[in-house]
Structure 1
């Protein structure tokens, strides 16, 4: 966490003297909310006009200009953020990422009326924080989560998970260390794709149970596996954050993430199969490994669901690993919609991927450097 990372920018639909712009920025071990509001800039026509011009850029679909604007809005506050954040702690733990101190800044007019004056407003109160994860203590959620919580899958708190690498593009810790073992950390975000996540979780639980049985079927399968779950109690993680009012805040126990197989990868089939520096033998091996893994999954009652070449990772050993399970997923072009989440759909998609991989043996594209992943991080999508 050495640099500045703008998580998001919020703004009103149209510019007015009541509109606002809010930046959320991570730096060090802290999160900062930077507020731009016209009433605080009204005494400077120059700064107010600069603010209005920002609204000419924000609604436009120009990513490069948007990044430039976000950086220019953040720049005046960087010195103040550095002073308040202090140096990042080492080693870094997941707890610091999930529950950072949060501060609110305001853009005000400086003494000479032409320069913006960064100003600290307040520490953000607990009730306004977006607490990660899903509560696991509410009875309404038990049908989805209680079967998992009753298993022997290892549980860890976020202060037991050491962060090894983090991608600035997403600011999500990817490679983590727990009890001397490396894993891929996947935040548990159930909003919007709730059924996908639940089905995926059920698939991981079945795969885990197979590994604990006397006669495991998936020993030779090249798949991503669940190795642990990260569960935190609000009373442990939020005790240092004050409340604005006198009303007590409901405290929960939350599933905040999964510890999955860390796959050191070269890329997906999409970035590997088409190119001439991958041999016919490579492509045949990938197809065979994918088919075998899917057959073994079906024998244990698990449907892949996420059937597409983007969900087959080629690791540094040249093996093809299946990731991203979910019965409710529909991978357009690879599985018919009425077959999604079924064994029949898996078999249809696997055959289509095999045909797609094989065609590159006949007409491969020019070589490319396949030693580097085609997306940030290493593990599942």
Structure 2
């Protein structure tokens, strides 16, 4: 029996509308991207498969298990008919896997193939679609020359072709997107944050400019901007920030509400003190954090708490809309962070907690 080829479902897109059951999947194998569209409108004489796929879409839309179906069950159902095509169109590269070097440009603008999954008489039938341009391209923003001149005055521009994806296993770069990249001939580790909106990146870059000008990124647990990534068309693809080695774990995943000693109160107090000290310094410099929440606090491998994400906005349950983007909103959010860290303690805090309106 031949082993199934290795590949990864990188992402999927489904509509939030209950009457739209189309889904799109991006699969990556050996540095190549496969875009697969599945639509019940392409199912012929297949009522059972229509019902099955609609139930699958409900799982993807909810992000939860539904009727004992998981997202991995959906992935397997969609991709299994394509496995021979994955192996044929994206063969294993020659040479030693240890020598694999994939640039950010290779990943963002990879060779691609477009498919649809037809279902005829209850049988899944892959069908390739000719396409000269990719149905998806990386998120990007474009700014006028004045903004770029201002940007160039305080940071650097990097070509994605000179940035390398970084994994412990070099072969993983052929299959997975990487948040960790290397610049300066592989000497500097960075976190690559893609652009999602012009408004967001303008605010974030302006905040990081102020942080850098005040020297806060060298004194506190705040990211430093190493540069922005720009392609040869003048599109800004993302920001290069300090890489925080946290194993992908924000504060929101480190606190166990029912386990008050995991982590122990001393560690929680350490995090709260670090957050308070950093936020105080930001406010003294005239800088607002904005979207205060546990997901925007990263805990590194040395148990230090980092404030991240200065793109603006607010999150229901953390900062009220009318207070978003203000010092008062930051303080209200920090009060909720304190309660998140110490949900039931009432005697083990320090005087810094008074700043948020009450004590622990």
**TM-score under structure 1 length normalisation:** 0.70
The offset of 1:99, in angstroms, is: 0.4
Please state how far the C-alpha of 1:52 moved relative to its aligned partner. Answer: 2.8
Give the superposition deviation at 1:321: 1.0
**1:9 and 1:70 in contact (8 A); partners too:** no
Distance 1:296 1:159, change over 3 A: same
Give, in whole Å, the separation in 2 of the partners of 1:27 and 1:335.
41
**How far apart are the structure 1 equivalents of 2:9 and 2:189?**
25
Q: 1:223, 1:322 within 8 Å by CA — same for their partners in 2?
A: yes
Cα RMSD, aligned residues only: 3.7
- Give the equivalent residue in structure 2 for 1:181: 188
Q: Is the 8 A contact 2:9 2:75 kept in 1?
A: no
The normalised TM-score by structure 2 is: 0.74
1:137-286 matches, within 5 Å, as 139=144, 145-146=147-148, 149-165=151-167, 172-179=177-184, 180-190=187-197, 194-210=198-214, 216-233=215-232, 252-265=233-246, 267-274=249-256, 275-286=260-271
Contact 2:216–2:222, Cα closer than 8 Å, also in 1? no
The structural deviation recorded for 1:25 is 2.5
* Structure 2 alignment gaps of length 5 or more: 349-360
The higher relative CO (CA closer than 8 Å, separation ≥ 6) is in: 1
The whole-number CA distance in structure 1 between the counterparts of 2:336 and 2:43 is: 59
**Match of residue 97, structure 1, among 107, 112, 131:** 107
Residues 333, 325 of structure 1: CA spacing in aligned structure 2 closer, same or farther, 3 A cutoff?
Answer: same
Structure 1: 5+ residue runs without aligned partners?
Answer: 211-215, 234-251, 365-381
The residue correspondences of 1:1-381 to structure 2 (distance < 5 A) are: 2-5=6-9, 7-8=11-12, 22-35=24-37, 42=44, 45=45, 48-49=46-47, 51-61=49-59, 63-64=64-65, 65=69, 67=71, 68-87=73-92, 90-107=100-117, 116-122=124-130, 124-126=131-133, 128-136=134-142, 139=144, 145-146=147-148, 149-165=151-167, 172-179=177-184, 180-190=187-197, 194-210=198-214, 216-233=215-232, 252-265=233-246, 267-274=249-256, 275-326=260-311, 328-359=312-343, 361=345
What do the CA deviations read for 1:257-296 (whole angstroms, capped 9, x no partner)? Answer: 1111111126333343554043333222222211111121
Displacement of 1:66 in angstroms is 6.4
SS across alignment from 1:354 = helix
Number of equivalences:
321
Corresponding residue SS for 1:265: coil
Q: Distance in 2 between matches of 1:329 and 1:21?
A: 28
